[in-house]
Amino acid sequence: CFCSPKVCIVGSGPAGFYTAQHLIKVWTAYWTVFCSRKRCISSASLSSENVDIIFFPQCRDLCFFSQARQDVEVDIYERLPVPFGLVRFGVAPDHPEVKNVINTFTQTAKHSRCSFYGNVNVGKNVSITELQQAYHAVVLSYGAEGNRSMGVPGEDLAGVYSAKDFVGWYNGLPSCRELSPDLSCETAVILGQGNVALDVARILLSPIDILKKTDITQPALEALAESQVRRVLIVGRRGPIQIACTIKELREMVNLPDTRPDMVAADFDAVKEALKDLPRPRKRLTELMLKTALEVPGEKEQERRSKASRTWGFRFFRSPVEVLAEPSHSRIAGIRLAINKLEGSGEGAHAVLTGEVEDVSCGLVVSSIGYKSLPIDPSVPFDSRKAIIPNTMGRVKQAAGLYCSGWLKTGPTGVIATTMNNSFDTARSLVEDMDSGTLDVSAAKPGSQSISALLEKRGVKPVTFSDWEKIDNVEMKKGESSGKPREKLLTVEEMLHVAWT
Ligand SMILES: Cc1cc2nc3c(=O)[nH]c(=O)nc-3n(C[C@H](O)[C@H](O)[C@H](O)COP(=O)(O)OP(=O)(O)OC[C@H]3O[C@@H](n4cnc5c(N)ncnc54)[C@H](O)[C@@H]3O)c2cc1C
Ligand SMILES: NC(=O)c1ccc[n+]([C@@H]2O[C@H](COP(=O)([O-])OP(=O)(O)OC[C@H]3O[C@@H](n4cnc5c(N)ncnc54)[C@H](OP(=O)(O)O)[C@@H]3O)[C@@H](O)[C@H]2O)c1
Ligand SMILES: *[C@@H]1O[C@H](CO)[C@@H](O)[C@H](O)[C@H]1NC(C)=O
Ligand SMILES: *[C@@H]1O[C@H](CO)[C@@H](O)[C@H](O)[C@H]1NC(C)=O
Ligand SMILES: CC(=O)N[C@H]1CO[C@H](CO)[C@@H](O)[C@@H]1O
């Protein structure tokens, strides 16, 4: 029998969906290119032919086929009952436009050659080896679900949270439901100055009237309405020129209603001279920072700032040394920061300790110094220093038939468009390998048939894409009654209940 190549994908975030999309599209495009040129007949009637060249009398043309270009089937396995990864559980609730990519992912999921299996924890409910036996290729795109830790004393104290958990809490990630962060203090310190840090700062400081029109979870909304946090410091180990956030996100902070910026002018001493040599995006970002920190604003802005009840500001050249506890040890009292100076210049400059320290009082610390991928199975190569799967163009090193894409492939940086690009690259590598024969797809593989049987035997019941659509509808309906685009279900049990009844 000449059967279709079967590919499975682990993880349904942007990486999983963009890899699937490209695999499906490449095949469709192939048939179209070769059979619609010169108005050839449609591809549909030919898909079962096992031939390389066919002469079509209708259009007096030869059409070319490669054996590997049979309809590929793509199955996506996801641990949670709901799809879309960080688009659902990472992207800030006040950035709804970013979530439009879900429309494209939904089209892919509904394609006749794509299937979604939610509620399947790969590595636990089914092993990678089992998937490799069932499929011609396995693409790992399970993201970066760990967090880099600061490695300083006191980071385990109550009142210290990783951004990953804090974000998961306000976005309804089931494992973070119980976080209930203590927001009864006046000053919060966020460590790290990337876009995630700015997301957290914005959520902590946004007027509740803005948040209540978003899909932020109800418990988070209630906690934030009661929050006493009035001042947020966003702390970086290096200087203004090395800041990791981008201009759109900084502008949102600058314009955030009912807040005013509070910077340290001296931090910008060396910045003005350096400005002219900076690459353009970095230059514009730095100019906005300079303007915000140093310029005397116009009358209207002055009035706005004087009325603001909350403040935010960057603190540069500071690394965490220790989280300080109150004498009772029941909660945190502040954080000790080492004062750094910079060595080198430009974006690559690095921080070195001066030996001086400074204590800052605060009741809440959010560590936003990056996410981290974790190994899934001892049989899969893992570079624990870089915390990625070692690969060349998405081909896992020393593991034929294994591929990777997304944050697991590159490390936890880059926006959705970056993840899309690197996932398309992985899909291209996979197609190349099928075409060249490096990846043997001539023998039939059972695909989802055998995995479904295995899961059933183990008592694992997958959530299909139409099951997810039931959850989706219930969430949107729940949201409607309170003027929100969606009210997320907060536990796996609730999700499964809705999916299966
Ligand atoms: C807080 C935050 C906010 C962001 N905001 C933006 C933004 O506004 N705009 C933007 O462009 N980019 C944003 N990004 C970046 C964007 O989210 C990433 O580029 C992208 O999500 C990475 O995709 P991924 O598929 O590699 O990983 P993920 O999105 O994390 O997807 C991984 C998926 O794999 C699943 N999984 C994990 N383990 C298993 C397992 N064992 N078995 C099965 N499935 C598993 C997970 O449940 C998840 O669904 C943000 C990132 C973060 C962290
Ligand atoms: N709106 C959006 O488009 C959006 C929103 C959220 C996230 N994202 C994207 O998602 C990706 C991840 O975001 P992120 O904010 O988690 O990561 P990030 O952009 O890499 O920022 C990480 C921050 O942590 C600091 N840091 C790292 N290790 C540290 C340490 N040991 N001690 C002190 N500070 C440390 C970094 O400083 P150094 O520079 O000194 O290392 C940097 O300021 C980014 O590409 C981001 O753009 C985009
Ligand atoms: C599937 O894996 C999860 C996570 O390890 C576990 O809690 C669950 O019990 C497993 N399901 C079955 C039926 O084995
Ligand atoms: C993605 O790739 C396209 C085409 O190669 C490029 O123009 C674009 O800048 C890339 N986007 C990102 C965010 O890397
Ligand atoms: C995987 C990982 O590094 N997890 C850490 C996330 O951050 C918390 C709190 O800072 C640590 O306790 C975890 O070990």
Backbone angles phi, psi at 303, to 5 degrees: -65, -45
What's the CA gap between 389 and 174, in Å, rounded?
Answer: 26
What's the pLDDT at 38? Answer: 47
| Beta carbons of 423 and 20 less than 8 angstroms apart | no
Ligand 1 proximity of 363 Cβ (cutoff 6 Å): no
CATH numbers and ranges of domains, the chain: 13-78+127-145+373-460 (3.40.50.720), 148-370 (3.50.50.60)
Interaxial angle between packed helices 163-171 and 195-205, expressed in degrees from 0 to 180 and rounded to the nearest 10: 50
Which residue in the block uniquely carries the two structure tokens 């209940």? Answer: 497
What's the CA gap between 354 and 39, in Å, rounded?
Answer: 72
Closest CA to 17 of 130, 145, 108, 148: 108
Ligand 1 proximity of 98 Cβ (cutoff 6 Å): yes
Q: Which atom of ligand 5 is nearest to the CA of 367?
A: 10
| Beta carbons of 139 and 9 less than 8 angstroms apart | yes
Q: Which residues contact 438 (CB under 8 A, 6 or more apart)?
A: 400, 432
Residue 360's alpha-carbon distances to 147, 232, 262, 429, in angstroms, are 24, 12, 15, 50
What's the CA gap between 163 and 190, in Å, rounded?
Answer: 9
Closest CA to 307 of 256, 259, 255, 253: 259
Burial 469-493 (b: 16+ CB within 10 A, else e): ebbbebbeeebeeeebebbbbbebe
- For residue 214, the CA-to-ligand 4 centroid distance in Å is 30
Kindly report the protein residue whose alpha carbon is nearest to atom 8 of ligand 3: 125
What's the CA gap between 365 and 83, in Å, rounded?
Answer: 30
Ligand 5 proximity of 149 Cβ (cutoff 6 Å): yes
| Beta carbons of 206 and 213 less than 8 angstroms apart | no
**Secondary-structure percent of the chain, ordered helix, strand, coil, rounded to 5:** 40, 20, 40
Closest CA to 83 of 480, 477, 478, 471: 471
| Beta carbons of 195 and 238 less than 8 angstroms apart | no
| Beta carbons of 139 and 132 less than 8 angstroms apart | no
Residue type, 350: H
- Among the bound ligands, name the one nearest to the CA of residue 171: 1
Residue type, 211: L
249 is in an annotated binding site: yes
Across the strands, what pairs with 210?
Answer: none
What tokens were used for 351? 């921080």
What tokens were used for 285? 């970002």
What's the CA gap between 202 and 252, in Å, rounded?
Answer: 8
Q: Which atom of ligand 3 is nearest to the CA of 460?
A: 13
Q: Which atom of ligand 3 is nearest to the CA of 459?
A: 13
Q: Which atom of ligand 5 is nearest to the CA of 374?
A: 1
What tokens were used for 80? 């949670």
- For residue 155, the CA-to-ligand 5 centroid distance in Å is 9
13 is in an annotated binding site: no
What's the pLDDT at 51? Answer: 41
Ligand 2 pocket test: pick from 198, 369, 372, 410 the residue with the most ligand atoms within 8 Å of its Cβ.
369
Per-residue pLDDT tens, the chain, 501 aa: give them.
357 899 999 999 999 999 999 999 876 555 544 554 544 444 434 443 434 455 666 555 655 554 435 679 999 999 999 999 999 999 999 999 999 999 999 999 999 999 999 999 999 999 999 999 999 999 999 999 999 999 999 999 999 999 999 999 999 999 999 999 999 999 999 999 999 999 999 999 999 999 999 999 999 999 999 999 999 999 999 999 999 999 999 999 999 999 999 999 999 998 999 999 999 999 999 999 999 999 999 999 999 999 999 999 999 999 999 999 998 877 899 999 999 999 998 889 999 999 999 999 999 999 999 999 999 999 999 999 999 999 999 999 999 999 999 999 999 999 999 999 999 999 999 999 988 889 998 899 999 999 999 999 999 999 999 999 999 999 999 999 999 999 999 999 999 999 998
312 is in an annotated binding site: no
| Beta carbons of 39 and 59 less than 8 angstroms apart | yes
What's the CA gap between 141 and 86, in Å, rounded?
Answer: 12
What's the gap between Cα 402 and its chain centre?
22
Helix segments in 77-116, DSSP class H: 86-89, 101-109
Kindly report the protein residue whose alpha carbon is nearest to atom 9 of ligand 3: 125
CA torsion angle for 178, 332, 233, 91 (degrees, to 10)? -10
Ligand 4 proximity of 421 Cβ (cutoff 6 Å): yes
- For residue 431, the CA-to-ligand 1 centroid distance in Å is 24
DSSP state of 370: -
Q: Which residues contact 500 (CB under 8 A, 6 or more apart)?
A: 461, 467
237 is in an annotated binding site: yes
Neighbours of 459 (CB within 10 A): 7
- For residue 164, the CA-to-ligand 1 centroid distance in Å is 11
What's the CA gap between 214 and 211, in Å, rounded?
Answer: 5
Ligand 4 proximity of 413 Cβ (cutoff 6 Å): no
374 is in an annotated binding site: no
What's the CA gap between 36 and 139, in Å, rounded?
Answer: 31
- Among the bound ligands, name the one nearest to the CA of residue 100: 1
What's the pLDDT at 59? Answer: 58
| Beta carbons of 479 and 485 less than 8 angstroms apart | yes
Strands 364-367 and 231-235: unpaired
Across the strands, what pairs with 338?
Answer: 319, 357
What's the CA gap between 401 and 476, in Å, rounded?
Answer: 40
What's the CA gap between 187 and 175, in Å, rounded?
Answer: 26
| Beta carbons of 4 and 72 less than 8 angstroms apart | yes
What's the pLDDT at 4? Answer: 85
Burial of 223 (0-12, 13-18, 19+ CB in 10 A): middle
Q: Which atom of ligand 5 is nearest to the CA of 155?
A: 10
